[in-house]
Amino acid sequence: MKPIELKDYLDDITLFSSSQEEPQWMLDLRLNALEKAAELDLPKIERVKIHRWPLMNVGSLNEEVLGNPVLPSFDEMEDNPMIIQGRTTTMYEQMPVELSEQGVIFTDIFTALREHGDLVKEYFMTKAVPVEEDRLTAFHAAMMNGGVFLYAPKNVVVKDAFESLFFQNMGDNSAWVKHVLIVAEENSEITYLERLHSEGETSEKLSANVVVEVIAKRGSKVKFAAIDRLGKEISTYMNRRAYIMRDASVDWALGIMNDGDVVADFDSDLVGEGSHSEVKVVAISSGRQTQGIDTRVTNKASHSVGNILQHGVILDRGTLTFNGIGHILKGAKGADAQQESRVLMLSDKARGDANPILLIDEFEVTAGHAASAGRLDPEELYYLMSRGLPQKEAERLVTRGFLGSVITAIPVKAVREEFVEVIDRKLAE
């Protein structure tokens, strides 16, 4: 992959920042990040080589092609807070008045930069995902062209899910760079549901870059669910990370259903005493698709608890690699790090890896792991077939059950049903 030439994009970034009326600090951050992107290395994913992937195809930053996303009809709309967005343009935004009166903020990232700039500046790539972490995080900071900001004030509990639906128009050859920033103040509770969806077809090689930062302050609770459905010609980099303070919790339920190549980093940093994170990831790899997923929980504080569960299914000539990383740092006495990674291969030509990694730098802790890669359980299939189910239907039900940990965690019923349909479609391909 050729290094970024600063001179090629400096004017485009400056123009884009101006068109969005961004504060000067954001433009400065972009230009500094672009310079770093030319110097930094790509992230390293164990057993996955990404150096030839087209992860930084820029295209035209300032000319958005909207396409024709399918917007839900008004009689199908729920009352929960919702944002529907293309690459940059927000097509629909719904926010209940009562939440705004409580100080809750849920808006597109550019409105947040204009109207809540100091708040965004405090957390934007300062705690969870550093700009200079690697070439793709720096590229993200420089080229970010869409996303949302969610802020929950102290002691505010929101029962309804905040929902974002991000469309990528396959007829738009520009990089699709989304940033989601979630800040939960002390003792607040929120649920967020994110969907990434491609529309249309293309023969070009496109790129997507998604960074999510969750800042969970003392005693707060955040539930984050996502269903990713980006297209076959899209090479995707994802970095979803939580910074979790004392007695706070962040639970992840992530369904990776993309049709193109994916490299992903799903992390929880347990920085406060008694902090907690559950990370559940399911993925399906098919065709000649390659997916490399690093899921990491780092226990930095005493009595922190992190659990990882990864289940993947591979069809055809697909490749799927799960790296589960539990790291207990010095000083994190009483910490607990557990993980389970399992890969189900439904083809003789499939390639799967489930790699457990435990790094323990402290005594008086608890840690464990389980990992496997194999075929469908013949006893389960026999049981279902003995009850009159055809073999294909039995295989589908067993596989769906294998992925059930994330299905049940999706907070919106209609989206949960959509997720099941996506899984069934991919299994039937």
Longest CA pairwise span in the chain (Å): 68
Residue that terminates a domain, selected from 225, 250, 271: 271
Residue 87 pLDDT = 95
Amino acid identity for residue 41 in this structure:
D
Whole domain around residue 380: which residue ranges?
376-429
Q: β-strands 290-299, 90-94: how paired?
A: unpaired
Pair 338, 370: CB distance under 8 Å: no
181 has pLDDT over 90: yes
Higher pLDDT, 173 or 361: 361
Q: Identify the pLDDT of residue 341.
A: 94
In DSSP terms, which residues pair with 279 in a beta bridge? 252, 308
Q: Say yes or no to pLDDT of 169 above 60.
A: yes
Evaluate if residue 412 carries a pLDDT over 90: no
Query: Is 295 within a domain?
Result: no
Res 1 pLDDT > 50: no
- pLDDT over 80 at 384, yes or no: yes
Q: How many domains does the chain have?
A: 2
In terms of residues, how long is the chain? 429
Give per-residue pLDDT as tens, 286-344. 999 999 999 999 999 999 999 999 999 999 999 999 999 999 999 999 999 999 999 99
pTM listed for this prediction: 0.95
Tokens in use for 104?
A: 């809750």
Query: What is each CA distance from 31 to 9, 24, 266, 339, 392, in whole angstroms?
Result: 9, 11, 26, 39, 54
Distance CA 74, CA 197 (A): 20
| 339 token code pair | 């993980």
Residue at which a domain ends, from 271, 305, 321: 271
Cβ atoms of 236 and 261 within 8 Å: the answer is yes
Within-domain flag for 344: no
44 within domain boundaries? yes
Please state which of the ranges 97-101, 349-353, 393-397 shows the lowest mean pLDDT. 393-397
For residue 26, tell me if it sits in a domain.
yes
Q: Which residues contact 335 (CB under 8 A, 6 or more apart)?
A: 270, 299, 301, 302, 303, 304, 305, 306, 328, 362, 365, 366
Read off the pLDDT of residues 36-49 as tens digits, 9 standing for 90 and up.
998 999 999 888 99
Does residue 331 contact residue 302 with C-beta atoms inside 8 Å? yes
Question: Among 243, 271, 299, which residue terminates a domain?
Answer: 271
Percent pLDDT > 70 in the chain is 96
pLDDT at 6: 58
